[in-house]
Amino acid sequence: MTDFIHSRIDGSGGMPPYNSFNSIYRVHKNNSVKKWLIAILVTLILALFLPWTQNIKAKGKVTTLRPEQRPQEVNNVIAGKVVKWYIKEGDIVKKGDTILQLGEVKVDYMDPDLLQRTQDQLNAKSLSAEGYKNKAATAETQTSALKQGRDLKLNQLDIKQKQQALKLQTDSMDLAAVINELTVSKRQIDAAKIMLDSGVMSLVDFEKRKVSYQNAMAKKLSAENKLLQSKQEMLNIGLEKNSTIQDYTDKISKTEGDKFSSLSSVATTEADIAKLKNIYASYDMRNQLYYVLAPQSGQIVQAKKAGIGEILKDGDLIVEIIPDQFDYAVEMYIDPVDQPLMNKGQKVRFVFDGFPAIVFTGWPEASYGTFAGVVTAVENNTSADGKFRVLVQEDTTYKPWPKQLRLGGAASGIALLKDVPVWYELWRNINGFPPDYYQPSKDAAAKK
């Protein structure tokens, strides 16, 4: 009975075997688990020697490199009240388009004819300056005339003085002749007196000689008087010359004083004119500032003021404009421990929100849907959260970034570092070591 049971179980005795027995008890089958295990172990060992690209992961957002391409606030320069809106949120505007019209709120500028009145003041000051210039020119002419008159008068006095000098010389010569004549008469009268005493000469002849001597004395006195008068006349001419010089000097000084006074008035008036021109230009510019214009082309967002008649202060934010053309970039924030590993020119791969991607962290070339970038700047100061800011621009040697990107959109960045074996990367992570210090080769980048 037992042999029968066994014979039926093991399929002996001519009975067909059971499929369940063959499936459960695989004693006579060759097992390949060992081969698969060996193959997997060999594959894993070989994989440990595959190259692995060390990297730094960081979050970021889309921005621009140039400040003028970032969202811009439009502020009013002057205080005013809202008169009319020319746009609404979401509108696309061109550079120079009118955004808002303001009305005046300061009493000093409410005169509707303020510009014209300032221009009238400017014209009046200009006429005043012209009058002072003409007065200065007239004083200059008077000064020239006085100088010419002085020169003529002095020339006349010089001639008169020379004539008087000749006359003085003549009078001196006349006096000398009279003295000689008097000397002769004196000698003759002395001789006549002796002769009269001796009885040789008559009294009549003596008296004649006496009369000649007295006449000679009279001529001497007359000649001396004439000489003194000539000397006095010479002194008078010198005094007249000095008086003329003093008189003309006073007149010229007074005329030049009037001239310089006029020139001073011209300078003062021109200063007032310059001040009025400045005021006029300020008024004119203020009138232009009543209309707030778009500083650049873009989209209007976030209107901060609303309603008609609302008061705006100096520098208040009106709207924001997002430029319609800009160069994309990504700003990433990395931990301080990774800051020494980031260098200008380093390669970065990005995954932008809204764009599907398959990412293999250690094998960037095998990833799909990522976009390449190049580090442009690494800031040396930390942000508010204690991280360092890194700016990355588009890598033009790779496929272009999508045009659908918008400022502020999120991006996941993978900064590529040094290539190392997989086993080394595992060993580094197990020990908690940072990635190896890596600096991109400038020669290799230039060659590429």
- Model confidence over 330-367: pLDDT tens digits? 999 888 878 887 888 888 888 888 787 776 666 666 67
- Mean pLDDT, the chain, whole residue set: 82
What is the C-alpha separation between 318 and 321, in angstroms, rounded? Answer: 10
Which stretch of 52-66, 100-114, 192-206 has the lowest confidence by average pLDDT? 192-206
Instruction: Return the H-helix or E-strand segment holding 394.
Output: strand 388-394
pLDDT band at 89 (very low <50, low <70, confident <90, very high): confident
The string over 233-272, giving b where at least 16 C-beta atoms fall within 10 Å of a residue's C-beta and e elsewhere, is bbeebeeebeebeeebeebbeebeebbeebbebbeebbeb
**Side chain identity at residue 10, one-letter code:** D
Most confident of 14-23, 191-200, 371-380: 371-380
| Each residue's pLDDT tens digit, 240-293 | 889 888 998 998 899 889 888 888 998 999 999 999 999 999 888 888 888 999
Residue 19: what pLDDT? 64
Domain residue ranges in the chain: 51-68+326-447, 71-104+290-323, 114-288
Residue 229: what pLDDT? 87
Residue 72: what pLDDT? 87
Residue 312: what pLDDT? 86
pLDDT band at 25 (very low <50, low <70, confident <90, very high): low
User: What is the reported pTM?
Assistant: 0.57
Residue 1: what pLDDT? 43
Query: Phi/psi of residue 334, each to 5°?
Result: -110, 160
Inform me whether the pLDDT recorded for 161 exceeds 70.
yes
Torsion (CA) 202, 208, 212, 214 in degrees, nearest 10: 90
Tell me, which fold does domain 71-104+290-323 have in CATH? OB fold (Dihydrolipoamide Acetyltransferase, E2P) (2.40.50)
Query: Phi/psi of residue 152, each to 5°?
Result: -65, -45
CB atoms within 10 A of CB 206: 16
Residue 94: what pLDDT? 92
Residue 15: what pLDDT? 47
DSSP secondary structure letters along 278-311: HHHHHHHHHHHTTEEE-SSSEEEE-----SSS-E
What is the C-alpha separation between 200 and 203, in angstroms, rounded? Answer: 10
What is the C-alpha separation between 102 and 314, in angstroms, rounded? Answer: 12
Inform me whether the pLDDT recorded for 4 exceeds 50.
no
Residue 196: what pLDDT? 76
CATH 1.10.287 fits domain 114-288: yes
- Tell me the CATH number for domain 51-68+326-447: 2.40.30.170
Comparing C-alpha atoms, which of 318, 278, 324 is closest to residue 298? 324
Map tokens 């970039």 to a residue.
329
What is the C-alpha separation between 341 and 433, in angstroms, rounded? Answer: 13
Residue 275: what pLDDT? 93
Residue 221: what pLDDT? 87
